[in-house]
Amino acid sequence: MDWNSAFATQMNRVKASEIRERAKTIDLSAVIQLGGGLPDRAILPHPLVQSVCDTILKTDGEAALQYAPSEGYGPLREWLAAYVTKTEFPCSPDNILITNGSQQALDLIGRVFLDVGDQVVLDAPTFIGAIRAFDLTGADYADIGSDFNQPNEDSLKNSSLGYFQADFSNPGGTCYSEKERTLLSDLVNRYSLPIIEDACYTPLRYEGEPLPSIQAINVAQNGGIDNSLVFRTGTFSKTIAPSLRVGWIIGPKEAIRKITLVKQACDLSTGKLAQMIAHSIASQHFDSQCEKAVATYKPRCAAMLKALREHMPDGVSWTKPEGGFYIWLTLPDLIDSKDLANRSLTEAQVSIISGHAFFPGDGGAKYARLSFSLEPEEKGTEAIKRLSALIRSM
Amino acid sequence: MDWNSAFATQMNRVKASEIRERAKTIDLSAVIQLGGGLPDRAILPHPLVQSVCDTILKTDGEAALQYAPSEGYGPLREWLAAYVTKTEFPCSPDNILITNGSQQALDLIGRVFLDVGDQVVLDAPTFIGAIRAFDLTGADYADIGSDFNQPNEDSLKNSSLGYFQADFSNPGGTCYSEKERTLLSDLVNRYSLPIIEDACYTPLRYEGEPLPSIQAINVAQNGGIDNSLVFRTGTFSKTIAPSLRVGWIIGPKEAIRKITLVKQACDLSTGKLAQMIAHSIASQHFDSQCEKAVATYKPRCAAMLKALREHMPDGVSWTKPEGGFYIWLTLPDLIDSKDLANRSLTEAQVSIISGHAFFPGDGGAKYARLSFSLEPEEKGTEAIKRLSALIRSM
C-alpha cells in the first residue's frame, strides 16, 4: 500500500519535527535542555494530586469514572466563570468549554472557522502548535505586520481567523503593550474577525504589572462577552500538571455551543476524573500553585539573561521576557540557526530550537528559541556559556 | 456577529442531537434509560482506581504528571501489543496509537484519509459517533449493501475509507459471520481500501464463540500487520472506565506514524496519569474486569429479550445480540420511530433512540435502538412492558 497516496491532501504538510527526530539519536541524559516547553518536575504537585484524587474516588467514585458532558465538568466551568467574573468581566459557564489542554482548544477553533484554503492572520514568529493545528484544516497564513498602527490591512480583510499571544509569547517571550492590545481589538471589530488569544502563560509573570487581556478590552468595547469576537484559550498544564490535559476556551456563548458539538464529534469529552482533580486543586490552591511556579522560573529567567549579557558575543541580541518560558535570540547574519541548533546539540550538548519552526512559511534562519523552564540556574548558565563559545567559534 | 456565516462550510452539518436537547427538559430521575450507551455504574472499579492511582503517584508521581509521548504511554502500548500478539497475530508497539477513547480514534483516522467530498463506505445502520466524526471532514457516504457476496461495488470503488463493526454492532446488536469477515477482507484487498474495524464491544460476549477479527483475517491474507489495510479501534470505556478516555488504534506502522503526528497537532497526547491507571488495571485485572462486565450485562440482555418475546405486539421484530449493549427494533410500517421515541419519553418515561440517528442520510423511520446496559433486569422488563403498551396503543 502506498500510504502517501491514500492520505488526505493536507496531510502532506504533516511532518515529524526534525529536531525531535534528531534528538532521538542522542543520549539526552547528558544534554542541557533549553529546547522543550516542559514545566519543571519540581513544581508538579503529586502529593496534592494524590490526596485530592483519593478524596474524589472515596466520596464520588462512580461519578468520577463515568462519561463527562462534552462541554466539561460543571463545577470546573463554574469555577472558571467565577474567576473571570471576579478578575475581569461577567462570564457564565455557558461561555466556557473544557478541552484536552489548550492544544485541543486551538484545533477545535481552527476546525470550526477554517475551510480548506481559508487564511489565518498571525504575528510571526508564533506558536508552532498553532501552526500545526491550523495546517490540518488546509489553511493559509498571512502576517499582521509588526506595527498595529499600520497593520497589513489585506491580511486582516482576507482572513477567517486570527491567532495572537498577548502575554509572554512562545517563542518571542514578548508582551503586547496596552495600546497594542486596544489597537488589535479595534482591528478585530473593524473586520468582524474572530481571533484566538492564547493565554497559556498569562499566570506566569515575573516582572511588571499585569495588563488587560485583548478579550477583556474587546468585551468592554462590545458590551459583553457574547458580543465579543475573541476566544481566549488557557490551560492548567503550566500551573498544575500537563498530564491532566485540562485546558479551556472562553468565548461568546453561541460559538462556544458550536465548538462543543465539534468537540463531541472529536472525542466526546475530556476525562472526568482529570477535570475533577483540576477543579479541586484550582479551587483551593490556584494562587499558591502560580506562586510556586513564579518562584521557580523567575530566578531561572534572571540567571539566563545574566549569562547572556556576560557571555554572548557582539552581534547576538535577545528578548527580555517578563514571564513565560522563553527567550528569543537574534543571530548574526553569518550564522544559520538550523546549523546552530544541530551543532549545539551534538557539539555542546545543549538543545535549543531553530527559529524556522515558528514561521508558517520561510523565515527563522537568524533566530533561535531558548527555554529556561526546565533546567536549574547553574545548568542554564553553563548552557549559555557553551552556546556563546560555539557561536563565537562559528 | 452572525456566527453561522463565519463557521466553516461543513459546520452546517454539525447539529445538536434532538433527543439530547429534548431530554434536557425532562426530569430524568423518573425515566428508565434505554437510550444512552453508558456502562453500568456498578462495574466501574473505583476502589481499584483509587489504590492503583495511589501507588502510581507515590512511586512515580513526577513522571505521572508530566507530558506523555504523542503515541502513548510506552508500557500501555507494549501491553496492548503483547495482548494482540498472544491472542491474534504478531504486533509491535509501533502498530499502536493511544487515543482519547475510541471516538478520537475515529476522528483521527477520518482526518488522515478524508478530503472534503471524499466518500466513506459503511454498513448502515451504523454508529452515530462515526458519522459525526466523518461529517467534520466534509465526507459523503455510501452503503456497502447487505450481502457481501454481492456488495455495492461502486460504493467500494469510489470510497477513500470504510467503517465497519464486526462484533455486536451499535446500534444493530449483530455480528458478522466468519464468512462475511473474510469476504469483507477480500473486498478491502481488491479495492486497496483502508477500513476501520470498530471493536469497541468485542470483549463483551455473552453467547457463542469469539470469531476472528476482520483485521486478523486481513493480516493473515497480507502477510503481516504492516501490509494490512485494517485499522482496528478499541477502548477501555466499556471494560474499565469511560472517564479515563483511553482508547487505541491498531494498524500498519507507516500509517500509525502519520496518524500520531495528527494526534500531536490535535491535542499533543492523551493524559499520562489516565494511561498509567489504565495500564496498571489492564495488565493485572483485564480478564476479571471483562468477566464482571459480562456477568452484569448478560442477564440484562436475556431479561430484555424475554420481555420483548412476552410483551411486544405482532409486527415488531428485533435482533438477538450475543454481546454488546444494544437491541435493534423494527417497527410496523404505521409507526414512525421519532414519534415513538418522543412519546416513549414523555408518556411512558422510557428513553429510547429513534433509528434516524444511525443512518448518514434518510432512513431509520421504522427502527429504534434499545440499550440494556444501564438498567437492572426488573427495570428493563418494566420498560419493555410500557413500550409494548405504547406501541399497541399507536
**Same structural domain, A35 and A122:** no
Q: SS3 for chain B, per residue?
A: CCHHHHCCHHHHHCCCCHHHHHHCCCCHHHCEECCCCCCCHHHCCHHHHHHHHHHHHHHHHHHHHCCCCCCCCHHHHHHHHHHHHHHCCCCCHHHEEEECHHHHHHHHHHHHHCCCCCEEEECCCCCHHHHHHHHCCCCEEEECCCCCCCCCHHHHHCCCEEEECCCCCCCCCCCCCHHHHHHHHHHHHHCCCCEEEECCCCCCECCCCCCCCHHHHHHHHHCCHHHCCEEEEEECCCCCCHHHCCEEEECCHHHHHHHHHHHHHHHCCCCHHHHHHHHHHHHHHHHHHHHHHHHHHHHHHHHHHHHHHHHCCCCCEECCCCECCEEEEECCCCCCHHHHHHHHHHHCCEECEEHHHHCCCCCCCCEEEEECCCCCHHHHHHHHHHHHHHHHHC
Out of B3, B50, B273, closest to residue A244 by CB: B273
Best of A21, A243, A296 to mutate (most B CBs within 10 Å, chain B): A243
**Same structural domain, A63 and A175:** yes
Higher pLDDT, B4 or B103: B103
pLDDT value, residue A94:
98
CB B49 to CB A104 under 8 A?
A: no
Question: Of A285, A300, A322, which marks where a domain is finished?
Answer: A285
Whether A272 is covered by a domain: the verdict is yes
Residue B59 has pLDDT above 70, yes or no: yes
Question: Chain A residues with CB inside 8 Å of B104's CB?
Answer: 266-267
pLDDT value, residue A355:
95
Tell me the H-state helices in A27-72.
Answer: 46-65
Best of B98, B243, B275 to mutate (most A CBs within 10 Å, chain A): B243
pLDDT value, residue B29:
81
User: How far, rounded to the nearest angstrom, does the alpha carbon of residue B348 sit from its chain's CA centroid?
Assistant: 28
> What are A117-154's pLDDT values in tens digits?
999 999 999 999 999 999 999 999 999 998 999 999 99
Task: Check residue B66 and give left, alpha or beta (phi > 0: left; psi -120 to 50: alpha).
Answer: beta
Strand partners, B317: B330
CB B133 to CB A67 under 8 A?
A: no
CB B44 to CB A61 under 8 A?
A: yes
Residue A1 has pLDDT above 70, yes or no: yes
> What are B267-276's pLDDT values in tens digits?
999 999 999 9
Best of A24, A137, A258, A267 to mutate (most B CBs within 10 Å, chain B): A267
pLDDT value, residue B25:
62
Question: Of A267, A285, A303, which marks where a domain is finished?
Answer: A285
**Same structural domain, A178 and A293:** no
Best of A245, A249, A289 to mutate (most B CBs within 10 Å, chain B): A245
Residue A362 has pLDDT above 90, yes or no: no
Kindly report the CATH number assigned to the domain that includes residue B377: 3.90.1150.10
Confidence of residue A277 (pLDDT cuts 50, 70, 90): very high
| Cβ atoms within 10 Å of A241's Cβ, excluding its own | 31
Decide if A375 contacts A383 (C-beta within 8 A).
Answer: yes
Amino acid identity, position B136: L
pLDDT value, residue B302:
98
Q: A with B: how many residue pairs have Cβ under 8 Å apart?
A: 248
Mean pLDDT, residues A310-324 taken together: 98
pLDDT value, residue B239:
95
Whether A4 is covered by a domain: the verdict is no
Out of A104, A118, A243, closest to residue B65 by CB: A243
Residue B313 has pLDDT above 70, yes or no: yes
**Same structural domain, B100 and B136:** yes
Nearest to A57 by CA among B44, B327, B172, B303: B44
CB B245 to CB A6 under 8 A?
A: no
CB A41 to CB B66 under 8 A?
A: yes
Out of B8, B132, B273, closest to residue A111 by CB: B8
Question: Chain B residues with CB inside 8 Å of A46's CB?
Answer: 57, 61-62, 64-65
Confidence of residue B41 (pLDDT cuts 50, 70, 90): confident
Residue A392 has pLDDT above 70, yes or no: yes
Nearest to A19 by CA among A36, A38, A37, A31: A36
Whether A132 is covered by a domain: the verdict is yes
**Same structural domain, A323 and A275:** no
Mean pLDDT, residues A288-306 taken together: 97
pLDDT value, residue A37:
85
pLDDT value, residue B19:
59
Mean pLDDT, residues A274-284 taken together: 98
Q: In chain A, what is the greatest distance between 2 CA atoms, to the nearest angstrom?
A: 63
Question: Chain A residues with CB inside 8 Å of B267's CB?
Answer: 99-101, 103-104, 107, 245, 267
Alpha-carbon distance values, A187 to A126, A228, B7 (Å): 19, 13, 20
Kindly report the CATH number assigned to the domain that includes residue B215: 3.40.640.10
> What are B150-208's pLDDT values in tens digits?
999 999 999 999 999 999 999 999 999 999 999 999 999 999 999 999 999 999 999 99
Confidence of residue B13 (pLDDT cuts 50, 70, 90): confident
CB B3 to CB A254 under 8 A?
A: yes
Mean pLDDT, residues A286-299 taken together: 97
| Cα-only R_g, chain B | 21
**Same structural domain, A333 and A201:** no
**Same structural domain, B276 and B341:** no
Question: Chain A residues with CB inside 8 Å of B62's CB?
Answer: 41, 44, 46
Out of B50, B266, B271, closest to residue A58 by CB: B50
CB B65 to CB A241 under 8 A?
A: yes
- Please provide residue A96's backbone torsions phi and psi, each rounded to the nearest 5 degrees: -130, 130
First to last CA, chain A: 46
Residue B27 has pLDDT above 90, yes or no: no
Instruction: Count structural domains, chain B.
Output: 2
CB B1 to CB A229 under 8 A?
A: yes
- Helices A377-393 and A337-347 cross at an angle (nearest 10°) of 120
Contact partners, residue B337, CB within 8 Å, separation at least 6:
B331, B354, B355, B356, B364, B365, B366, B367, B368
Whether B312 is covered by a domain: the verdict is yes
Interface ipTM: 0.96
**Same structural domain, B92 and B25:** no
Residue A224 lies in domain? 46-285
Residue A21 has pLDDT above 70, yes or no: no
Whether B6 is covered by a domain: the verdict is no
Minimum distance, in Å, between the CA of residue B275 and any CA atom of chain A: 10
**Same structural domain, B210 and B80:** yes
**Same structural domain, B57 and B206:** yes
pLDDT value, residue B229:
98
Residue B23 has pLDDT above 80, yes or no: no
Q: Which residue of A has its CA nearest to B247?
A: A267
Question: Of B286, B316, B342, which marks where a domain is finished?
Answer: B286
Q: Is B142 exposed, middle or buried (0-12, 13-18, 19+ CB in 10 A)?
A: buried
pLDDT value, residue A363:
87
Decide if B307 contacts B370 (C-beta within 8 A).
Answer: no
Average pLDDT of chain A to the nearest whole number: 95
Whether B4 is covered by a domain: the verdict is no
Q: In chain B, what is the greatest distance between 2 CA atoms, to the nearest angstrom?
A: 63
Higher pLDDT, B18 or A117: A117
**Helix (H, G, I), strand (E, B), or coil: what is residue A356?**
helix
Whether A1 is covered by a domain: the verdict is no
Confidence of residue A7 (pLDDT cuts 50, 70, 90): very high
**Same structural domain, B325 and B271:** no
pLDDT value, residue B20:
63
| Cβ atoms within 10 Å of B394's Cβ, excluding its own | 14
pLDDT value, residue B16:
79
Mean pLDDT, residues A266-284 taken together: 97
Out of B46, B65, B257, closest to residue A62 by CB: B46
Minimum distance, in Å, between the CA of residue A236 and any CA atom of chain B: 11
> What are A150-189's pLDDT values in tens digits?
999 999 999 999 999 999 999 999 999 999 999 999 999 9
CB A266 to CB B265 under 8 A?
A: no
CB A65 to CB B53 under 8 A?
A: no
Residue A18 has pLDDT above 90, yes or no: no
**Same structural domain, B132 and B40:** no
Whether B3 is covered by a domain: the verdict is no
- For residue B286 the three cell numbers come to 483485564
